[in-house]
Chain A
Amino acid sequence: METKKQILDVRNLMCPYPSFLTVKKLNEVEKGTILEVICDKVEMTINSLTTTLKNRGYKFEVKEDKDNYIVEVYKD
């Protein structure tokens, strides 16, 4: 099955709004989708987001580039 990819940009948003939008988006996308969440390099935001994802049993991977964290979440 083809993996679909969707992007959610939560940069410049204050905690816990990024977590709220990510959870909402994950509820909407189809199973098998990879959701790529682009997030500021702010420790509080990434900690809060990954804690929420862990609590809900999502598989995810955190990558980073110069300016952002990119969280790839798998919806299965």
Chain B
Amino acid sequence: MRCTKIRTEQFEFNIKKIDNWILNIDKIKSGKFIRDELKVGNTPIVRLENIDTNNLELYAKIEWLNPFGSIKDRAAYWMIKIAEDKGILNKNKTVIEPTSGNMGIALACISMSLGYKFTAVVPQAVSEETKNLIRLLGAELLETSDDLCPRVGKGTDQCIALAKGIVNSFPNDYFMPNQYENEANFLAHYNGTGPEIFNQMNGNIDYFITGIGTGGTVTGVGAYLKERKDVKIIAAQPQPNHHIQGLRNLQESDKPAILSKRFHVIDDILTISDEEAFRAVRLIAEKEKLLVGPSSGAVLAAALKLEEKGLKGKAVLIFADDALKYSSVYRQFKVLDEETLRSLEELISLQKVN
């Protein structure tokens, strides 16, 4: 992939914006983050004006402006809040969750700022940036290998098995939100993200495009929008054996319960290769001066496929997180230039978070 310099003054400004959620993490570590400050959602939508399209008008919902840097803050907050309200979660329990990334960071931050201990169960393959962030927060990190439990599949399947084993061993000591099965994950988007998008667009929306992970976003937003008007719901799935953290390919991974339950709201699923996703990440950096995570690249790549088909109208895209946790994968695949990668690494370095 071609690598040119993309740093400009505007770009520097964007890096500062990314910095916000790192500062929030810093506050949690020093115990200064209080419950009243925990406001998830109400993220801005921006028009992507500089990406050339003839038929589709592209808008992106900037989800890294949630308090801890990703769309997962929404589901994490509502899973904890609803469990507290139902009395399933109390101060004697540790929150434990199998996760491959952003949900670990979101739940670590939200649990700890509300006074709960947190244990993340992650596959060994999770990026060092993510693991370091979880450790720095003071959360416990358990890493699973693919040969731990012979009865289940690889990666996060091993994490789910271990987390369930621990919860079943000590049911009074642990609470496992389980984003793959918890209805609160759907509700966070049905009651939050969906209405926000509809109102921000004044109802002028024809396509909604997002990635497939747990299925919470696509079914929650999708179900809400479809109740209001005939919006086409498009899901981007990565190729098999992909490098797009947080998304899943439905041929190689099971459909989570959350997704199966309302799978019918999805009108079309587009498969995106790593190369298409990374090329789109680069395009967003060059044209819009936004540093996005790989899943946002996959979502833009899906939008560009709709544009190629000649579809017309306004499309809202979910940009789930920023580039901060992906400097190693972006270096491996030469997605961004060296200077940009270095400034990302500097941002997430120990000194910064300490």
Contact = CB atoms under 8 A, between A and B. Distances in A.
Contacts of A13: 165, 169
Contacts of B164: 14
Interface string B121-163: 0000000000000000000001011011111000000100110
Q: Which of A17, A48, A51, A55 has the most CB of B within 10 A?
A: A17
A17 B166 contact: yes
Q: Which of A15, A23, A47, A52 has the most CB of B within 10 A?
A: A15
Contact of B161 (A12, A16, A23, A47): A16
Contact of B162 (A12, A20, A51, A55): A20
A63 interface: no
B169 A48 contact: no
B169 A16 contact: no
A55 B147 CA distance: 7
Classify the interface of chain A: helix, strand, loop or mixed.
helix
A56 interface: yes
Interface in A27-68: 47-48, 51-52, 55-56
Contacts of A14: 164-166, 168-169
B171 to A, nearest CB: 10
B147 A52 contact: yes
Interface size bracket, B side = 10 to 19
A20 B148 contact: yes
A48 B151 contact: yes
Contact of A19 (B142, B148, B166, B169): B148
Contacts of B147: 52, 55-56
Contacts of B169: 12-14, 17
Nearest to A56: B147
A51 B164 CA distance: 20
A47 B150 CA distance: 9
Contact of A20 (B144, B150, B151): B144
Contacts of A12: 169
B148 A52 contact: yes
B150 A17 contact: no
Given A12-B169, A20-B142, A52-B147, 7 more contacts: A14-B164, A14-B165, A16-B158, A16-B165, A48-B151, A51-B150, A52-B148
26 contacts: A12-B169, A13-B169, A14-B164, A14-B168, A15-B161, A16-B149, A16-B158, A16-B162, A17-B162, A17-B165, A17-B169, A19-B149, A20-B142, A20-B144, A20-B148, A20-B165, A23-B145, A23-B148, A48-B149, A48-B150, A48-B151, A52-B148, A52-B149, A52-B150, A55-B147, A56-B147
7 A-B pairs closest in CB distance? A16-B149, A17-B165, A14-B168, A14-B165, A13-B169, A55-B147, A51-B150
